[in-house]
Amino acid sequence: MSTGNNNFIFAQEQYLAQGVDVNNALECLEKISISIHAWQGDDVVGFENTNHALTGGCQVTGNYPGRARNADELRADLEQALQLIPGRHRVNLQGHQVDKMFPGVDRDAFSIEHFSTWLAWSKEHQIPLDIAPAFYSHPKLDNGYSLAHPDRGIREFWINHGKAIRNIAQAFGKQQKSASIVNFWAPDGSKDLVADRWTPRQRLIAALDAIFAENLPAQEVADAVEGKLFGIGTEAYTVGSNDLYIAYAASRKKLLCLDSGHFHPTESVADKISAVLGIIPELLLHVSRGVRWDSDHVILLNDDLLQIAQECVRYDYLHRIHIALDYFDASINRVAAWVIGTRNMQKALLIGLLEPRQALLASEKKFNLTRRMALQEASKTLPWGSIWDQFCSKHNLPLDHQIIQALEAYDRKVLQKRG
């Protein structure tokens, strides 16, 4: 018997002593698909070949070699990343990550033809696709406003872009036999104090209502709305705040997207999950890591991530939570950023699934707060790492300390040779 198997058996026994079924946890983890954000691979630039400046509060720092310059390179990078991530997952696109452009056609008239190779790739590899409109990095993001712009013509452009992306998502959803999630985030806002907070929000609500006017089949398209506290250039006022979108999602029966980088650093996104799921049927989570601000660092296995993952798996509502990643770091190997971040998300979920839940609930029910704290702290030292290694081995994938070899090999063979 190998040392690895011995470690797993020992760990299994340790968890069993705490009333935790390791096999049940692994089966549950196997079923969780994470939507991996394609824009980590191209630095949120897209492939429109129009040289639009990166605007709308998005900022990617670093100049590590190998950014994907077209959709083919991006797909190749994603395939490499997915080979090092256990389980079956999804890919999330931005509306400007097109396969091809057509003369005279702008974002307001995009169709599935612009994403035809993505559709074929999805079918070939059995990878479901999600997509989000790109309301940024375009001349019609005027003075920081898109859907909430006072000019009707500019608003109509962006409304039509939102409609176009929903139709593209419907084509994805029909093929993949699961709803393609379309997440709506608009960067509209102001750098400094405004005289009128009300009117732009009314325009945003009306624009969203126009985008969602066509009822697309729920089994093909799921719409989500995502708020934000602030962004670069919108430090004082964000039209699409979290408060606005909670009300909008609840009243329009949309998914609410909570991005872990879009709140004040002292706010707990984990705490918000159970709060809003009592009102809103489904949630989309964008998991990121902010360092002092919404800086979208690669997620680490830290307390914030653990709390989010634990909250996701503690109750019988995993089927109501869609987990996606949203960060972009150009200072390191971009493929490695996908692999490390996604595996960290999975590890956090596994730790949550291995929590001695029943013992904790029993203590809490009796208001034995001392015992609850002791159990919580003791569970931190249980050998979850051996369970994770078993999960990777089951998928014939390298363990954490081994993935760097595959990543560095791809770096030398592919990324370093790109201009």
- As a whole number, mean pLDDT of residues 270-292 equals 95
Please say if the pLDDT value at position 51 is more than 90. Answer: no
Query: Residues with Cβ < 8 Å from 153, sequence gap 6 or more?
Result: none
Partners of 180 in the beta sheet? 221
Which residue among the candidates 77, 99, 296, 355 is catalytic per the annotation? 296
Q: Which of 282, 311, 326, 389 is catalytic?
A: 326
Among 77, 220, 259, 389, which one carries the catalytic annotation?
259
* Distance, CA of 409 to CA of 11 (rounded, Å): 33
Active site residue 235: no
CATH code of the domain containing 112: 3.20.20.150
Contact (Cβ atoms closer than 8 angstroms) between residue 212 and residue 223: yes
**pLDDT on residue 54:** 76
Query: Strand runs (DSSP E) across 206-251, as ranges?
Result: 221-226, 237-238
Q: Is the pLDDT of residue 56 over 80?
A: no
User: Domains in the chain: how many in total?
Assistant: 1
| 296 labelled catalytic | yes
386: in domain: no
> Annotated catalytic residue: which of 254, 262, 272, 347?
262
Query: What is the average pLDDT value for the chain, to the nearest integer?
Result: 95
- 89 as an active site residue: the answer is no
Is residue 236 a part of any domain in this protein?
A: yes
Question: Catalytic annotation on 243?
Answer: no
Report yes or no: 184 and 133 within 8 Å, Cβ to Cβ: yes
pLDDT for the residue 371: 95
pLDDT tens for 323-354 read 999 999 999 999 999 999 999 999 999 999 99
**Residue 142 carries which DSSP code?**
B
Q: Please tell me the predicted confidence (pLDDT) of residue 61.
A: 87
Please say if 259 is a catalytic residue: yes
Choosing from 138, 161, 163, 228, the catalytic residue is 228
Task: Give the pair of three-digit tokens for residue 95.
Answer: 């509306």
CA distances to 2, 159, 228, 250, 298 from 267, in Å: 45, 32, 13, 21, 19
pLDDT at 3: 61
Domain annotation covers residue 366? no
Q: How many residues does the chain have?
A: 419
% of the chain beyond a pLDDT of 90: 92
Kindly name the residue from 77, 226, 389, 411 that is annotated as catalytic.
226
Is position 376 within any domain? no
Closest CA to 331 of 127, 62, 69, 145: 62
Torsion of Cα atoms, 51 then 54 then 59 then 62, to 10° = 10
Whole-number pLDDT of residue 11: 96
185 catalytic residue (yes or no): yes
Task: Measure the CA dihedral 341/347/348/351, to 10°.
Answer: -170
Q: pLDDT tens digits, residue range 4-38?
A: 789 999 999 999 999 999 999 999 999 999 999 99
Residue 172 lies in a domain: yes
Determine which one of 188, 294, 304, 411 is catalytic.
Answer: 294
Digit-coded pLDDT (tens) for 115-160 = 999 999 999 999 999 999 999 999 999 999 999 999 999 999 999 9
Residue 399 lies in a domain: no
The SS3 of residue 286 is strand
Q: What is the mean pLDDT of residues 74-93?
A: 98
pLDDT exceeds cutoff 50 at 1:
no
Per-residue pLDDT at 215 exceeds 90 = yes
Within 10 angstroms of residue 152's Cβ, the number of other Cβ atoms is 10
At position 343, the amino acid (one-letter code) is R
- Kindly indicate the confidence band of residue 2, based on its pLDDT and cuts at 50, 70 and 90: low
Asked if the model's pLDDT at residue 377 lies above 90, the reply is yes
Of 118, 185, 338, 384, which is the active-site residue? 185
Q: Which of 84, 43, 39 is nearest to 61 (CA)?
A: 43
Task: Give residue 178's domain range.
Answer: 33-353
Q: Cα-flanking dihedrals φ and ψ of residue 41, to 5°?
A: -80, -20
What count of other Cβ atoms lies within 10 Å of the Cβ of residue 18?
Answer: 17
Backbone angles phi, psi at 322, to 5 degrees: -110, 120
369 in a domain, yes or no?
no
Amino acid of residue 406: A
Is residue 130 one of the residues assigned to a domain? yes
In the set 286, 304, 338, 411, the catalytic residue is 286
Mean pLDDT computed over 30-49: 96
Amino acid making up residue 174: K
Residue of 289, 200, 266 whose CA lies nearest to 239? 200
Rounded to 5 degrees, what are φ and ψ at 44? 60, 25
Residue 294 annotated in active site: yes
- Maximum CA pair distance of the chain? 72
Distance CA 95, CA 386 (A): 40
